[in-house]
Amino acid sequence: MELLFNIVLIVFFAISYVYVGATMPKSSDLELGAEQWPQLLITALIILLFVNIYNIYKNTPAEKRHFKSITGISIPAITKSKLFWGIVIIFAYAFALEPFGFILATIVMFAFYAVLTGQKKPSVVALNALLITIGIYFVFQRGLGIMLPRGLGFLRDIALFLESL
C-alpha cells in the first residue's frame, strides 16, 4: 500500500511540475523566477519519493514483495486515516487561499491540523494557529518580500492594513 501511495504521489508531482511550467510566467535565464522555485521543490520531492520507494522495497522481506496487498484496498479504511484527512485539509487550503487570503486560510488550516494531530484544548489550538501564521506571514511578507494572497472583500482590506504596518 505504501509503495502504491508513493507511486501515485510521483505521478501527481510530475503532472504538477508540467502544470507549473506551463502556467507560470517565464523569467529571464539568469534568475530563479516564479516557476523555478516550485519546480525545484517538486524535483526534490520526486527524487526523495524514489529514494523512499527504494528503501521500502529494500526493507521489505522477499516473500512480501508482491502486489496482492493492493487488491485489498478499503475505501472506508482510507477515509478513517489521518493521512487522508491531512491531504484533504491541504487541498481545501490550496483552494481557500485566493478567496479567503493567506492569514485566515492559514489560521484555519493550522487549527484543523492541530485537532487532527490530537490537540484537544481550543485555546492552545487557536493560539498556536495564530502564532504560526503570524510567524510565517512575517518571514515571507517582510523577510523575503513575497506577496501572499490577500483575499477578497474586507479580507483584502485587512491584509493591506497589515502590509502597511
Give residue limits of the domains in the chain. Answer: 1-73, 74-165
Binning pLDDT at 50, 70 and 90, where does residue 123 land? very high
Match 497589515 to its residue by C-alpha cell: 162
Measure Cα distances from 20 to 38, 40, 111 in Å.
7, 11, 28
User: What is the rounded average pLDDT of the residues 152-164?
Assistant: 82
The Cα angle at residue 44 between residues 146 and 37, in degrees rounded to 5: 25
More confident residue, 18 or 65: 18
Q: pLDDT band at residue 163, thresholds of 50, 70 and 90?
A: confident
Residue keyed to cell 504596518: 165
Asked if 123 and 115 count as a contact pair (C-beta separation under 8 A), the reply is no
